[in-house]
Structure 1
Amino acid sequence: MKAAVSYFNSIFWQLLPSTRFFFLKRKLLTLAGARIGANVRCASSVRTFVGGSLSIGANTWVGHEVLFVGGEASITIGADCDIAPRVSFITGTHEVEASGPKAAGRSYSLPITIGSGCWICAGATLLGGTVIGDHSIIAAGAVVRGEFAPYSIIGGVPAKVIRNLLGASPAELTLD
């Protein structure tokens, strides 16, 4: 995404009513380089600080104080998703440096992919390398990294499959 336009958006959006002017917000995100589907609705406190691509599918709600941050990796969110307040999408991280002056070594980023029809509950953190299957639920406060099958309910720190919406056992749902 274009850093200068994203910076402008972060300032300008705060002047807009939180749950209004969705067309204008979609247009501004598109100008910043994001791919935004029809009827995407973002609260005014959403922040985007990503160098990679951002794609949000149609009819998705992005709640208050949601943060998209990281390096050059992509963040892809499917259609018909609900993203609750204070969810963080973090693509960037560091290699562990055991013998250097600090523990955080070389930086890198990994993509995040969220399937269609997902519900991400308040305060969840999604880390780079995460793939969530369609129609899954991520519990409030979960810290998620890994690949999860469709129709999973995912929660905890670190996150794991709690159960399946269709009755399958957790062992059948993890794709790792």
Structure 2
Amino acid sequence: MNTYKLYLISFLLPLIPETRGFSLKRKLYAFAGVILGENVRICSSVKIRGHGIVQIGDNTWIGHNVQIISSSKVVIGKNVDIAPSVYIGTGTHKIDVNGDRAAGEGYSAEVLIDKGTWICTGALILPGTIIKEMCVVAAGAVTSTTFEAFSLIGGVPAKLIKSLKS
């Protein structure tokens, strides 16, 4: 993504009604280098930042005040629903209690959210998370590992609550 273009469109997006003008928002994000499928709907208050790759699949909804911060790669599949106030990030630090601060060397890890998944309000999707198809991530969950398809995921740290496939 082009961080300068993302910065520029950050001034234009608040002028567009929150849940209207999806076609214009797709054009603006595509201009900034975000890879978008057909009929992606992004609310105006969404913040996409960083120099990494962000790819969003067909018919995906991204709700109010979602933040996607990519220094690596974020892939969001088709037919995904992301509720308000979700954070998706690819950058973090190693823990280093022997140095001057606990936040040691920084690094990035990709995030994958597969098709049909629903990320509920306030979830934190941390670096290295892989959520396979048709999962539900409960409100407020904090994910950082791999979750199998058709899973209900919740908690801090997130864990499998139950399989959704009978």
Report the TM range for the smaller structure's normalisation: over 0.9
Taking the TM superposition and a 5 Å limit, the aligned residue runs for 1:34-73 are 34-71=34-71, 73=72
Q: How many residue pairs align between the two structures?
A: 166
> Partner residue of 1:171?
none
Between the aligned partners of 1:100 and 1:112, the Cα distance in structure 2 is: 28
Between the aligned partners of 1:154 and 1:136, the Cα distance in structure 2 is: 7
Gaps of 5+ in 2: none
> Partner residue of 1:158?
157
Between the aligned partners of 1:99 and 1:70, the Cα distance in structure 2 is: 28
> Partner residue of 2:12?
12
* Aligned structure 1 segments of 4 or more residues deviating by more than 2 angstroms: none
Letter matched to residue 49 of structure 2: F
CA deviation map 1:90-149 (0-9, x unaligned):
110011122221111111110000000000000000001000010100000000010011
TM-score w.r.t. length of structure 1:
0.92
Q: Using the TM superposition, name which of 90-99 and 112-121 deviates more.
A: 90-99
Q: What is the aligned-residue RMSD (CA, Å)?
A: 0.8
Q: Using the TM superposition, name which of 6-15 and 128-137 deviates more.
A: 6-15
Between the aligned partners of 1:101 and 1:161, the Cα distance in structure 2 is: 36
Between the aligned partners of 2:130 and 2:9, the Cα distance in structure 1 is: 28
Between the aligned partners of 1:166 and 1:97, the Cα distance in structure 2 is: 41
Contact kept? 2:53, 2:70, Cα under 8 Å: no
Taking the TM superposition and a 5 Å limit, the aligned residue runs for 1:134-153 are 134-153=133-152
Between the aligned partners of 1:51 and 1:157, the Cα distance in structure 2 is: 28
Between the aligned partners of 1:82 and 1:42, the Cα distance in structure 2 is: 10
Shift of 1:19: 0.5
Between the aligned partners of 1:59 and 1:166, the Cα distance in structure 2 is: 23
Q: Does 1:89 align with 2:88?
A: yes
Shift of 1:8: 1.5
Letter matched to residue 135 of structure 1: M
Q: Using the TM superposition, name which of 118-127 and 25-34 deviates more.
A: 25-34
Shift of 1:70: 4.0
Letter matched to residue 22 of structure 1: F
Determine helix, strand or coil for the equivalent of 2:4.
helix
Letter matched to residue 11 of structure 1: F
Between the aligned partners of 1:70 and 1:158, the Cα distance in structure 2 is: 21
Determine helix, strand or coil for the equivalent of 1:58.
coil
